Amino acid sequence: MTTINYISAVTQALEEEMERDEGVFVLGEDVGARGGVFRATEGLYERFGEERVLDTPLAESAIAGVGIGAAMYGMRPVAEMQFADFIFPAVNQIVSEAAKIRYRSNNDWEVPLTIRAPYGGGIHGALYHSQSVEAMFSSIPGLKVVIPSTPYDVKGLLKAAIRDNDPVLFFEHKKAYRLIKGEVPEGDDYTVPIGKADVKREGDDVTVITYGLCVHFALQAAEKLQEEGISTHILDLRTIYPMDRTGVVEAARRTGKVLLVTEDTKEGSVLNEAAAAIAEECLFDLDSPIERLAAPDVPAMPYAPPLEKTFMMNEDKVESAIRELAHF
Amino acid sequence: MTTINYISAVTQALEEEMERDEGVFVLGEDVGARGGVFRATEGLYERFGEERVLDTPLAESAIAGVGIGAAMYGMRPVAEMQFADFIFPAVNQIVSEAAKIRYRSNNDWEVPLTIRAPYGGGIHGALYHSQSVEAMFSSIPGLKVVIPSTPYDVKGLLKAAIRDNDPVLFFEHKKAYRLIKGEVPEGDDYTVPIGKADVKREGDDVTVITYGLCVHFALQAAEKLQEEGISTHILDLRTIYPMDRTGVVEAARRTGKVLLVTEDTKEGSVLNEAAAAIAEECLFDLDSPIERLAAPDVPAMPYAPPLEKTFMMNEDKVESAIRELAHF
Amino acid sequence: MSEPKHEALGLERDQLLSMFKTMLTARKIDERMWLLNRAGKIPFVISCQGQEAAQIGAVTALNTEEDYILPYYRDLGMVLHFGMTIQDLMMSGFARSEDPNSGGRQMPGHFGSKKHRIVTGSSPVTTQVPHAVGFALAGKIKRENFICLTSFGEGSANQGDFHEAANFAGVHDLPVIFLCENNKYAISVPVDRQLSCERVSDRAQGYGMPGETVDGNDPLAVYEVVKKAAERAREGSGPSLIETVSYRLTAHSSDDDDRSYRGREEVEEARQKDGIVTFAKYLKEHDLLSEDEEKDMHNSIQKEIDKATDLAESAAYAEVETTFNHVYDA
Amino acid sequence: MSEPKHEALGLERDQLLSMFKTMLTARKIDERMWLLNRAGKIPFVISCQGQEAAQIGAVTALNTEEDYILPYYRDLGMVLHFGMTIQDLMMSGFARSEDPNSGGRQMPGHFGSKKHRIVTGSSPVTTQVPHAVGFALAGKIKRENFICLTSFGEGSANQGDFHEAANFAGVHDLPVIFLCENNKYAISVPVDRQLSCERVSDRAQGYGMPGETVDGNDPLAVYEVVKKAAERAREGSGPSLIETVSYRLTAHSSDDDDRSYRGREEVEEARQKDGIVTFAKYLKEHDLLSEDEEKDMHNSIQKEIDKATDLAESAAYAEVETTFNHVYDA
Ligand SMILES: Cc1ncc(C[n+]2csc(CCOP(=O)(O)OP(=O)(O)O)c2C)c(N)n1
Ligand SMILES: Cc1ncc(C[n+]2csc(CCOP(=O)(O)OP(=O)(O)O)c2C)c(N)n1
Ligand SMILES: [Mg+2]
Ligand SMILES: [Mg+2]
C-alpha cells in the first residue's frame, strides 16, 4: 500500500489502462501538453504521444460525439469534460446517443466510453465551476454514473469504467483532488465493481447515505460524534445510477434513522432515489423521518466566500444533522 | 363553458396572449405556414405574420438561445421544441443560461421565456418521439417545469407561463392533444397558478399522485374501482418543479396510502421528490409503503406495438396498482 | 461528340445497371411502404424519393467491404447498396423481430447493421456526424485504411453538431465525407429560411476542406465528386463536404401534409428531373438498357418486394419480455 | 505622404486619447488584479492583456447610448467604454456586494449591467452568441435601431452555438456583429489544433455574411472594419463576422501556468506588437500625445485604481441571507 492523493489515483488508473489496452485513449480540452487544467492527465502525452492523448477543439458535443464514434468502432475512449459544468453542450450526444445505442440497435452496437469530469465546489469556482450535475444524468437508463470518494475507489472504479462495455459518467470532486489522500495497493491491478455501494463506517444510531466529498464530511462528523456517544453508519453510494438499492435498504434498516447528504441542491437531487427506495422497501423499519441535507435550492454556488460557505456542504452541517436525528 | 380538446387549449392560449401583449411571439421549427407539426400554432402565422410566428432554422440550441436573448431584451418569446426528445441540444442554453440569469446578475436581468414541447408516448413514436424528459430539468433552480393534464389547465397554465417573469418549460402530452377534451370558460381571461397541485378527485382509501396524461388513467381507474368500493384520491401535480410540497403532503395524509404514477422510467423520476417529501414530512401517517408505478428502466419506448404497450402506462396498470395498495 | 460521362468515369455497364437497379429498388420499396401505411398496416414511412440518385452515386464510390456509412433516415438506397435486403427493410417497416436494424425497436429509416458497416442511427438529426469523425479518428489511430461517409439534410447542416464535427475532422485531417443531401425543404421550411448561405458547400472553406455542390439527380455526377473525395480521404488528405441538390418528392413523412407549404406545380416540376427517370433515359440513350430489360427489372423487383412484404407481414413481433433486454451489456 | 489613418477615419484627437486612455485603464486594472491575486487578496483573475486595442477599436464604432454588447470574459476594455467604472470592476474583483455585475456572485470577468446595455455573461463559452441574435431579433420586431456586438475567442468559435447563431442571424439579416478575438490560444491549445480553417473569418461565407480579419493590435484598423459592419447592420443589411488577431500576453488565467505549452520567446515577440505600446507610438508620432501627457495619464489612472482598490477592499460582502435571493422573480 502507498498513500496517494485523489487526483493521482485518476492519473494512475489512466496510465495503467492505456498501458494494458491499446484501445484506450484520452481526448479533451488541454489534456495534452498541458496535462489537463487540473493535471489529471499529466505525463500521459509524453508517454503515449499525441494520438492517444488528444487535445480537441473547444467543443464538448464533438468530444462526446467523436468519443461515441470511436467507442462504437471498438476503442475505449476516455473523454474529459474540463468541468462538469461544461458537460451541458454534450447532453444530446450523451443522452440521445451513448445511452441508447445498445438498446436501439438491439445489442448490435455498443459504446464503451468513459466521460470524466471534475465536479463540486468549495474552491471559489462560483456558479460555473462548482456544480454537481449528477441529478441530470441519473434517470437515463443505459448510462452509469459513478462518483468516487477515496483514492482507492477512484482508481478501482475508473479502471472498471474504462473496461465497462457501456458508457460511464465519472465525476471527480475537484476539491478532493489534492485534499483527499488514501491508500492504494501498489502494483496490484484491481477494479472496484460499478453498481455497489460501500459501507465506509459501521454504526448503530444513525445511517448517513452520501457520496463524493461529502463522505469525508460524514466521516469527520462521525468521528466527533463518537465522543458524544453517537454511533454513525456511513454508506458511500459510489455508483449513483443505477443505484445499489439493496445496499441502500440494508443501510437504512441498520439504524432505522436515515440522513441523506449531498452537495447538490435539494429538490430533485439523486438522494431522492434512496428516499423512494427506502419508503418502498422498509418504511416500517424506520424510527424517524428520512432527512435530506443538501445545498439550498438556488441556481449554483456563489463566488463571494460567505455566500459560498452558506451554499457549500461541510462537516459541521453534517454533524448537526446527524446529532439532531440521533436525538429524534 | 365550451368543450375543446387539449391542443386547442394550447392554440387559444397562444392566440390570446399574442393578442394581449405585443411582446409575445412564437418561434420554432415549422411553426409558421405549417402551423406546427401537431398544428398547435395553426392560424397564428396568418393572423400575426411571420415576424411573430417565426420559422427558425433546424437548431434547438439557437431556438432556446435566441429566445433567451429576446426575453432578456424584454419580449415574451414562446419557443417550441418540435418534440421533447429534441430539447437536448438546447440543454446548455436552458440550464446554464435561462435558469441562472436572474441569480447570476443579482436580479439585473431576467428571462421571461416559455419553452413548449410535446412529450409522451403511446403514439407509435418509438424511442425518440415518445420520451418524458421532465426528470432532467426538475433539479434546476431558476427553472419551472409545468405539465398540464386537462384543456382547462393547459390554457390557464400556458397563459401563466407566458406572463411569468422566469423561464418555464411547458410539456404537453402529444397523445392527449386530440384524445383529451374538457371544458374551458368562454371569453374568460383566466390563468392557473404555477406551483400549485390540484385535487382532480377526492377519495379516502388510496392517494394517487401523478401528472399529465396519467391523470386520466388514474381517473378512469378510480371510476372503475369505485364500483368495487375503493375510493381514490387523485392529486395532479401540474407543476413538476418546484413541486407543491404542501399539496403533496396533504394528499398523502388524506388516505395514508400513496401511489405515485409516471409515464417516465422509474429510477430517478420526478416522483422521487414527492416520495422524499412525504418521507420527510408525514412518514408516520402512512399505512403502507409508498409505491411507484412507472415505465421500466429501459432507454425509451420501443416502436413495435407489443413492446410499446409493455413500456407505456395505461389505465389497467394504474387500476391494479391502486387495488393492490387498497388491499395492503 | 465527346465521350459519354460513364465512360469518362470508368463505369462499366453492369455497374451502371446495378446502380439503376438499386435506385429503382429503393424507390419501389418506398412506394410500397406508403401503400402499406395508407392501408393502415404500418404506422410510419419516411421516404428516399427524389434522393436515390444522389445516394447511389455516392456509395458507388465507396468500398463496401471496408468503409463505414453513417446514413440518415432517407438513405434507403445507401443501405441497400451496403447489403441490407428488401426483406430486412420490410421487417423494419413492419417492426418485426427480424428487423436487423433494431429488432423493431426503432421506426423504419433508423438504419444500422454492424455486419454491413452501417452505423446505427437515431432520430435527433445530425448526431451521427460526430460519430463518423470518431470512426475516422479510430481508424487513424489504428492505422486502418477505411473511410467514413455520413449524410444529412440541408436543414440538419445548421445543427451545432455539424459544425463541431466538421471542424474536428478538419483539424485532424480525418477521412470523412460529409454528404449533405439538399432536398430544398426541412419539413415545411424551404432552404432560404433555413440556410444563410447560397450553398451548403460554401461552408467547406470554414473547415479547411474542399466543398462541392453537385446535381443530386445525376448519379454519375455525384459518383464523380464522391470518388474524388474518397481518394483524398484515403490518401490522408482529410475530409470533404459535398452537397447534392435534388428535391423531396413526397411529403416529409407519412405524418405530414405538404400542401400547406408548397405548391403542386413546384413538385410536378421536380418530378421531371427525378433521377430515376433521367438516369433511365441516359442508360437507354447510351444503349445500356432496353425497354424490355427495364420492364424485367421492374417486375423482378416488384416480385421480391411482394414476397418480402408477405414474409414480413406474417413474421412475429419481438416477445414482450425482450422489452427489458439490452439496456446494458449482459 | 498619405493622410494619417485616424484622419482618414474621421477620428479626432480627443477621441483618440480617450481610446488610448481606456486601453490603458483596462491594462492597468488587469495588472492590479494580478498583484492582488498574487498577494492572496483575490482568488481569480482572467486578463484582457493583449486584446485592449481590439476591444476599444471595436466599441468605439458603436453607440453606447443605443447599442448592446454581449462581451466575453476578457472584454474589460469594452465594458469600461460602455460605462463600467474602475470601482465597479474592483468591487467585482473583490466579490463585494457593490459589484454591479453580480453582487459578488460571479467570478470577475463575468460582465453585465442592464443600465449600460452590457448583457450578463457566464462561464460556458459562446452561450452569449445566440443571445446577441435574440436581442437583434427583438430589435427588428420592435423596429428599434440598435445593433448588437458579441465577442468570443477563436477557440469558442468552434462551439455549435456560434454556428447556429451565425446562421440564424444570416437567415434573418439581423444587426449583429460577431467579433472573434483571436489571441492564438485557447488555454493551452494553439490555433492550428483548434481551427480547421486559416482564418476564423473564412467562416463568414458559410453564413452569407462578410468576413474580415484584421490586426487586433491596431485599434484604428479594428475601428474601421467594425464601423463598416455597424453601418451595414444599422441599414438592415445584416450581420458581419470580424476576427481580430492579437496575442494573449498573460497565462490563460491566474490558475494557469503557460510555460508547459509555449515558449518565452514567442511571448516576448508578441509583447513587441502590444497595441498599448504601438498605439502610444502612433499617437506620439502624430503629435497627438506628449511624453508628459502620457505620464499624467498613467498617474491619474493609477491613482483612481489605488482609490478603487482601497474602497473595494474595505467594502462589504453581500449578507449571507442574500444567498437565497433572486432565484425567481419575487
Ligand atoms: C434535433 C432534431 N430536431 C428536430 C427534429 C424533427 N425533424 C425531423 S426531420 C426534420 C427536418 C430535417 O430536414 P433536413 O435536414 O433538410 O432533412 P430532410 O428531412 O429534408 O431530408 C425535423 C425538423 C429532429 N428529428 N431532430
Ligand atoms: C463550454 C466550455 N467549455 C470549456 C470551458 C473552459 N474554458 C474556459 S476558457 C477556455 C478557452 C477559451 O479559448 P478562446 O475561446 O480562444 O478564448 P481565450 O480564452 O483565448 O480568450 C476554456 C476551454 C468553458 N469555459 N466553457
Ligand atoms: Mg431537407
Ligand atoms: Mg483564444
CATH assignment of the domain containing B245: 3.40.50.920
Q: How far is C238 from chain A (nearest CA, A)?
A: 16
Contact (CB<8Å) A107/C326: yes
Q: Which residues of D touch B61 (CB under 8 A)?
A: 130, 160-161, 164
Per-residue confidence band for C47, with pLDDT thresholds at 50, 70 and 90: very high
C252 given a catalytic annotation? yes
pLDDT tens for each residue of A122-161: 999 999 999 999 999 999 999 999 999 999 999 999 999 9
Q: Which of C168, C169, C196 sits opposite D167 (nearest CB)?
A: C196
Q: A66-80 burial, b if ≥16 CB within 10 A, otherwise e?
A: bbbbbbbbebbbbbb
Cβ pair B272, B285 in contact under 8 A:
no
pLDDT tens for each residue of A216-248: 999 999 999 999 999 999 999 999 999 999 999
Cβ pair B43, B7 in contact under 8 A:
no
- C206 exposure class (CB count in 10 Å sphere: 0-12, 13-18, 19+): buried
Interchain CB contact of A279 with B (< 8 Å): yes
CA closest to D92 among chain A residues: A304
Chain D neighbours (≥3 Cβ pairs under 8 A) are A, B, C
What does pLDDT average to over chain D?
97
Per-residue confidence band for D1, with pLDDT thresholds at 50, 70 and 90: low
Contact (CB<8Å) C326/A70: no
Contact (CB<8Å) A303/D102: yes
Cβ pair A127, B96 in contact under 8 A:
no
CA of D112 to the centre of ligand 4 (A): 21
Do B212 and B276 have their domain in common? yes
Cite the DSSP H helix spans in chain C: 5-8, 13-38, 52-60, 76-81, 86-93, 128-141, 160-171, 191-194, 219-234, 264-273, 275-285, 291-314
The answer as to whether A109 is a domain residue is yes
Report the alpha-carbon distance of residue B284 to residue B267 in Å, rounded. Answer: 24
- A309 exposure class (CB count in 10 Å sphere: 0-12, 13-18, 19+): middle
Ligand 1 is surrounded, with C-beta below 6 A, by B 29, 58, 60, 82, 86, 89; C 74, 123-125, 152-156, 183, 185-187, 248, 252
Listed in sequence order, the residues at least 6 apart from C330 whose beta carbon sits closer than 8 Å to its beta carbon are: none
What is the count of structural domains for chain B? 2
User: Mean pLDDT throughout D21-42?
Assistant: 98
What grid cell was written down for C161? 453538431
The answer as to whether B191 is a domain residue is no
Cβ pair C25, C80 in contact under 8 A:
yes
pLDDT tens for each residue of D192-230: 999 999 999 999 999 999 999 999 999 999 999 999 999
Ligand 2 atom closest to the Cα of residue D154 is: 16
User: Mean pLDDT throughout C6-15?
Assistant: 97
Report the alpha-carbon distance of residue A92 to residue B215 in Å, rounded. Answer: 29
User: Mean pLDDT throughout B28-35?
Assistant: 97
Q: Which residues of B touch D323 (CB under 8 A)?
A: none
Cβ pair A124, D105 in contact under 8 A:
no
- β C185-186/C189-190 pair status: antiparallel
What domains appear along chain C, each with residue ranges and CATH number? 5-319 (3.40.50.970)
Place of cell 423521518: A289
Pocket test for ligand 1, best of B86, B128, B130, B131 (most atoms within 8 A of CB): B86
Q: Which residues of B touch C318 (CB under 8 A)?
A: 304, 306-307
The residue segments making up the domain with residue B18 are 2-184
Q: Which residues of C touch B129 (CB under 8 A)?
A: 107, 123
**CATH number, domain with residue B51:** 3.40.50.970
Amino acid at C309: T
Domain boundary among B184, B218, B241: B184
Report the alpha-carbon distance of residue D245 to residue D253 in Å, rounded. Answer: 19
Do A274 and A164 have their domain in common? no
Return the number of CB contacts < 8 Å for B and C.
112
pLDDT tens for each residue of D253-304: 999 999 999 999 999 999 999 999 999 999 999 999 999 999 999 999 999 9
Do B44 and B91 have their domain in common? yes
Number of neighbouring beta carbons within 10 Å of residue B238: 27
Q: Whose CA is nearest to atom 17 of ligand 1?
A: C153
Task: Give the 3-state secondary structure of residue D221.
Answer: helix
The answer as to whether A111 is a domain residue is yes
Ligand 1 atom closest to the Cα of residue B30 is: 23
The answer as to whether B217 is a domain residue is yes
Separation in Å, CA A18 to CA A23, A80, A98, A159, D157: 8, 15, 22, 10, 32
Do A10 and A155 have their domain in common? yes
Identify the pLDDT of residue B187.
84
pLDDT tens for each residue of D159-197: 999 999 999 999 999 999 999 999 999 999 999 999 999
Contact (CB<8Å) D167/C195: yes
DSSP states of C280-312 as a string? Answer: HHHHHHTTSS-HHHHHHHHHHHHHHHHHHHHHH
- C114 exposure class (CB count in 10 Å sphere: 0-12, 13-18, 19+): middle
Interface probe for B, chosen from A95, A139, A285 (most Cβ of B below 10 Å), is A139
Contact (CB<8Å) C171/D193: yes
Q: How many CA atoms lie within 13 A of C320 on its CB side?
A: 8
Identify the pLDDT of residue C164.
98
The answer as to whether B41 is a domain residue is yes
Do A128 and A77 have their domain in common? yes
Listed in sequence order, the residues at least 6 apart from A3 whose beta carbon sits closer than 8 Å to its beta carbon are: A181, A182, A183, A184
Do B116 and B221 have their domain in common? no
Per-residue confidence band for B201, with pLDDT thresholds at 50, 70 and 90: very high
Do B109 and B237 have their domain in common? no
Do A273 and A213 have their domain in common? yes
Task: Give the 3-state secondary structure of residue B48.
Answer: helix
Contact (CB<8Å) C326/A65: no
Do A165 and A232 have their domain in common? no
Amino acid at D170: G
Q: Whose CA is nearest to atom 17 of ligand 2?
A: D153
Interchain CB contact of A142 with B (< 8 Å): yes
CA of D155 to the centre of ligand 2 (A): 7
Q: Indicate the length of chain A as a whole number.
A: 328
Domain boundary among B142, B161, B184: B184
Pocket test for ligand 2, best of A82, A91, A128, A133 (most atoms within 8 A of CB): A82
Do A162 and A203 have their domain in common? no
User: Mean pLDDT throughout A54-60?
Assistant: 98
What does pTM read for this prediction? 0.99
- Catalytic residue (one of C261, C271, C286, C317): C261
Contact (CB<8Å) D205/C206: yes
Task: Collect all residues from B whose CB is shorter than 8 A from any CB in C.
Answer: 29-30, 32-35, 37, 55, 57-62, 85-86, 88-89, 124-129, 296-299, 302-307, 309-311
The answer as to whether A193 is a domain residue is no
Cβ pair B129, C44 in contact under 8 A:
no
Cis check: omega of the bond before A302, within 30 degrees of 0: no
Which ligand lies nearest the alpha carbon of C188? 1
Do A167 and A204 have their domain in common? no
What does pLDDT average to over chain A?
98
Interchain CB contact of D188 with A (< 8 Å): yes
Report the alpha-carbon distance of residue B293 to residue B266 in Å, rounded. Answer: 7
- D286 exposure class (CB count in 10 Å sphere: 0-12, 13-18, 19+): middle
Domain boundary among A127, A150, A184: A184
User: Mean pLDDT throughout A53-59?
Assistant: 98
Q: Reply yes or no on whether the pLDDT at B149 is more than 60.
A: yes
Interchain CB contact of C277 with D (< 8 Å): no
**Residues 99-118 in D contacting B (C-alpha not used; CB under 8 Å):** 100-103, 105-106, 110, 112-114
User: Mean pLDDT throughout B220-241?
Assistant: 98
Identify the pLDDT of residue A187.
84
Place of cell 498577494: D39
Ligand 2 is surrounded, with C-beta below 6 A, by A 29, 58, 60, 82, 86, 89; D 74, 123-125, 152-156, 183, 185-187, 248, 252
Per-residue confidence band for C1, with pLDDT thresholds at 50, 70 and 90: low
pLDDT tens for each residue of D50-102: 999 999 999 999 999 999 999 999 999 999 999 999 999 999 999 999 999 99
- What protein residues have CB closer than 5 angstroms to ion ligand 3? C 153-154, 183, 186
Q: Is B142 left (phi over 0), alpha (psi -120 to 50) or beta?
A: left
B129 given a catalytic annotation? yes
Ligand 2 atom closest to the Cα of residue D185 is: 20
Cβ pair B105, D120 in contact under 8 A:
yes
Per-residue confidence band for C172, with pLDDT thresholds at 50, 70 and 90: very high
D234 given a catalytic annotation? no
Cis check: omega of the bond before A242, within 30 degrees of 0: yes
The answer as to whether A97 is a domain residue is yes
Residue B263 sits at φ, ψ, to 5 deg, of -85, -15
Number of neighbouring beta carbons within 10 Å of residue D150: 30
- β A24-28/A53-55 pair status: parallel
Q: Whose CA is nearest to atom 3 of ligand 2?
A: A86
Do A121 and A167 have their domain in common? yes
| DSSP tag of B288 | S
Place of cell 426483406: C87
Number of neighbouring beta carbons within 10 Å of residue C318: 22
Separation in Å, CA C117 to CA A50, C65, D221: 28, 8, 52
The answer as to whether B30 is a domain residue is yes
CA closest to C124 among chain B residues: B86
What grid cell was written down for A272? 431522492
Cβ pair D156, A2 in contact under 8 A:
no
Q: Which of B55, B62, B127 sits opposite C193 (nearest CB)?
A: B55
